[in-house]
Amino acid sequence: MISIEQFQAGHFEQGIGYQYFVPNKINDEWIWTSPIINQLLEKAAIKLGELNSYSRLVPNIDLFIKLHVTKEAVVSSRIEGTQTQMDEALLPEEEIRPERRNDWKEVNNYINAIDNAILNLDKLPISSRLIKATHKVLLDSVRGEYKLPGTYRTSQNWIGGNSLADAKYIPPHFDLLGDLMGDLETFINDENLAVPALIKIAIVHYQFETIHPFLDGNGRIGRLLITLFLVNQKILDKPLLYISTYFEKNKELYYDNLHNTRVKNDMLQWIKYFLVGIEQTATVAVDTLSNVISFKSQVEETIRLNYGRRSNTALILLNHLLKNPFVMIDVVSNICGVTYKAANDLVKKMCDDKFLSEVTGQSRNRIFAFGQYLNLFK
């Protein structure tokens, strides 16, 4: 049995010319006496329940999920130094300047990794197999492609500094990864442990980042695990909660809380910080969904009142834009089943009504953005 207040993070062992940290195993019952944990746990659980209930009331909720996923991909990647903005992430690769395509690819790999992981939950538990498969997608053909995509590391890594000699933190030796990740996997999936789900995933995220099993991509995979766990536990029906924006608001505080849990055994502070983040993130997600539904209704009403015989076609285009807020004339023609001229006229009307705006400045191969909708997710 592990007490949060009396938590012992682990110990150091000697490598060749450096010391690495070996975290204690976590697969056990967890107890606490601090009433603040119960208060924060209740608040976070209520907000998550509100978000899940709200999502069930939203028709065609899957239309909006892509934008939530894209925002998470952008922000989680930005924590690691990637510069792609949300608008760029949704554009086709050929529209991205060559010097920014690596960042674009990393963000889109993250989107694909989330999508694939959610699909795989139907047939796999949250396990090393699933984590490795997700990591392989994340690092496919990007800057980390030579850092063993889909494979736990076989060499020593470090965090901060330029080498092992001046590193801020050195994770456990690679020989220990199998045992430590096995313990983590068991803890995630052990339903006999009486540990509340939100406490469990807070501990899991800390432990995963402490183990740092990959040469690259540990932060992104660790943050992705939070959403996977909430969906896997049926706390959320859909992947609508992403906490990276909360972590990014004060990136140093995020890293400091993780680090202090290791070096000062301060698991209490980490869990408090994490639960506040869940509550705040769920609140923002509910507000975003509410604003999206209100905006969608306003656009639909405008279309019905002002678009005459084009109303049905415009509504088809609207549903497409809710999932893919950038569009070209030929795409409109295809999805709406109308001529190129009719598609062009419809897009012009939606530009006149300030729903769409051209973003390339070109006279050919123009791309139009559903800007007001995009802004709801920023």
The answer on pLDDT for 96 being more than 80 is no
Supply the pTM of this predicted model.
Answer: 0.89
Q: Residues with Cβ < 8 Å from 288, sequence gap 6 or more?
A: 68, 376, 377
Q: What is the pLDDT of residues 328-340, one digit of tens each?
A: 999 999 999 999 9
Residue-wise pLDDT for 240-273, tens only, equals 888 888 998 888 999 999 999 999 999 999 999 9
CATH fold of 2-288: Fic-like fold (1.10.3290)
3-state secondary structure of 242: coil
DSSP labels for 260-307?
HHHHS--HHHHHHHHHHHHHHHHHHHHHHHHHHHHHHHHHHHHHHHH-
| 189-194 long-range Cβ contacts below 8 angstroms, 24+ apart | 189/125, 189/126, 189/127, 190/27, 193/27, 193/28, 193/29, 193/30, 194/29
Name the E strands within the chain.
Answer: 2-3, 10-14, 19-23, 30-31, 326-327, 357-358, 368-369
Q: Is CATH 1.10.357.10 what the domain over 307-375 is classified as, yes or no?
A: no
265: nearest Cα among 257, 253, 276: 257
Phi, psi of 103 (to 5 degrees): -65, -45
What are the boundaries of each domain within the chain? 2-288, 307-375
Residues 6 or more apart whose CB falls under 8 angstroms from that of 214 comprise 135, 147, 148, 151, 152, 153, 221
**Could you tell me which of 106, 104, 107 has the C-alpha nearest to residue 70?**
107
The pLDDT mean for the chain works out to: 90
User: Using one digit for the tens of pLDDT, what is the confidence trace for 282-337?
Assistant: 999 999 888 988 999 999 999 999 999 999 999 999 999 998 899 999 999 999 99
